[in-house]
Amino acid sequence: MSDTLAQQQAAIDILKKNDKGLYTIPASKLYPHQWLWDSCFIAIGQRHYDVERAKMEILSLLRGQWSNGMIPHMIFSRGIEYRSDHNVWRSWISPFAPDDVITSGITQPPLLAEAIVRVGEKLKLPERRSWYRQIFPALLAYHEWLYRERDPHEEGLALQIHPWETGLDNTPPWMSELHEHLLPWWVRVLQKTKLDVVAGWFRRDTTIVPAAERYSNIDAMALFDAQRRLRRKEYNIDKILDHSLFTIEDLAFNAIFIRANDHLIAIAKTLRAELSEALLKRMDLTKKALDELWDPYTEMYYPRDFVNHKLLKEPSVAALLPLYAGCIDKERAALLVKSLENAHMFGPPHPVPSVPLNSPWFDPKRYWQGPTWLNMNWLIADGLIRYGYKDHAEALVESSLELVEKGEFNEYYNPLTGEPLGAPNFSWTAAVALDWLNR
């Protein structure tokens, strides 16, 4: 078997090992449930060996869709951790939650349309049409929900209410805000007295992955406390906004949203379905509003606070996703590419780090605060191609494939040494590698 074929088989084996029949878990033990954007990346990989299975991966996400249109970021599996995990969320307290599955109460980057289109690429036009027809109402309801609930002032950008919604859990701009404004008094006391170690005794994640590769105990408590506040408001957006809980217009989320809107328009066109003028207008506004996240002084994109519109100037890999969004001009794109070439920023030996090397937050092993994630590389490589940087994209794909060469499809990698980190046999790493190997 050639090296490429062997690598493809290794990636397929991981996806099959994590396959629970209807959906695929990100990794055994650490992530025993279904996650929204994980399943989207997974379907993008599965389409290369079983397009019907890829469709099912996407359709299985719709089991969790709330009656208001939200697609939740998690659907709980009935396993050993079922009770304790779903009790954290208690989705049944919302009148919108489905009756037959238990879900989380927040969403995740809206990659759904991307996955639908990528699966559609594998189908002949008549089948593609029926695939789109099957999924269109749910996808439309999801995007409409994003505009209705998450852009209440009709300013263009969608707001997020928890760092988990960005998918980049402990990313610096969000964590610095959380620490400054929303750390509960009891967490501050634990931090001061250094008693946060006690919290570590109750963590499941750090029994599976070394503590230095996960978020700190303080961050873990802050994230769970922020989640508890949302639960107390029954995930009701009006109550959440009234109490000015944590609200940020995230960069990664909105870049992905912009691209997803374009896909939704293309899907509607294939179906000869009309999208309302009002929706099209709002989609257009989102593209324009992305520009407000640009800081000319540091020449970088950032997320911003929903309430006071202050940019949260802690750089992260999200800064490169406007390439994937595809709505920025060539000059801006060139500046982003420059930061990718810079060895002190996004260009270490094993790119792309989740935080640039010259940031005080950079830690090569710690989760979303330094390591290289291949799902991010997939989005960035796609963006580079869109802007005509084919060689840069190819170099990024090659360096990403080098990381998995030895068959270690981990959750993330040390950007300085290439060391595999986090959960082993990680589904989206296998899925995007498989997609590249079929390029």
User: 255 to each of 111, 166, 249, 250, 258, how far by Cα in Å?
Assistant: 10, 11, 11, 9, 5
Q: State how far the Cα of 293 lies from the Cα of 300, in Å rounded to an integer.
A: 8
Which is closer to ligand 2M8, CB of 120 or CB of 353? 353
Q: Mark out the alpha helices in 193-296 (DSSP H runs).
A: 197-200, 205-208, 217-232, 237-242, 251-271, 277-290
- Which phi and psi angles does 336 have, rounded to 5°? -65, -40
Whether 369 contacts 170, CB under 8 Å: yes
Minimum separation from the CB atom of position 31 to ligand 2M8 (A): 5
Residue 306: closest CA among 428, 162, 210: 162
Minimum separation from the CB atom of position 214 to ligand 2M8 (A): 8
Instruction: Choose, from 38, 85, 114, 169, the residue flagged as catalytic.
Output: 169
In one-letter notation, the amino acid at residue 90 is R
Buried residues in 230-268 as b, exposed as e (16+ CB within 10 A): bbebbbbbeebbeeebbbbbbbbbbbbbbbbbbbbeebb
Give the count of beta carbons closer than 10 Å to the beta carbon of residue 423. 22
Q: State how far the Cα of 232 lies from the Cα of 65, in Å rounded to an integer.
A: 21
Q: State how far the Cα of 247 lies from the Cα of 158, in Å rounded to an integer.
A: 10
Which is closer to ligand 2M8, CB of 97 or CB of 283? 97
Q: For helices 82-89 and 217-232, what crossing angle results, to 10°?
A: 60
Instruction: Choose, from 114, 249, 411, 435, the residue flagged as catalytic.
Output: 411
Minimum separation from the CB atom of position 367 to ligand 2M8 (A): 7
3-state helix vs strand vs coil in the chain, percent to 5: 55, 5, 40
Catalytic residue at 196?
no
Q: State how far the Cα of 300 lies from the Cα of 119, in Å rounded to an integer.
A: 33
Minimum separation from the CB atom of position 104 to ligand 2M8 (A): 8
Minimum separation from the CB atom of position 354 to ligand 2M8 (A): 10
Catalytic residue at 169?
yes
CA neighbours closer than 13 Å in the CB half-sphere of residue 116: 33
Which is closer to ligand 2M8, CB of 38 or CB of 196? 38
Which is closer to ligand 2M8, CB of 26 or CB of 120? 26
Residue 359: closest CA among 172, 83, 135: 172
In one-letter notation, the amino acid at residue 392 is H
Which stretches of the chain bind ligand 2M8, using CB under 6 A? Answer: 26, 31, 35, 37-38, 73, 164, 167, 169
Minimum separation from the CB atom of position 131 to ligand 2M8 (A): 24
Q: For helices 427-437 and 390-403, what crossing angle results, to 10°?
A: 130
Which is closer to ligand 2M8, CB of 51 or CB of 400? 400
Minimum separation from the CB atom of position 422 to ligand 2M8 (A): 9
Minimum separation from the CB atom of position 36 to ligand 2M8 (A): 7
Which is closer to ligand 2M8, CB of 223 or CB of 337? 223
Which is closer to ligand 2M8, CB of 213 or CB of 314? 213
Q: State how far the Cα of 205 lies from the Cα of 277, in Å rounded to an integer.
A: 46
Which is closer to ligand 2M8, CB of 145 or CB of 164? 164
Active-site annotation, residues: 169, 411
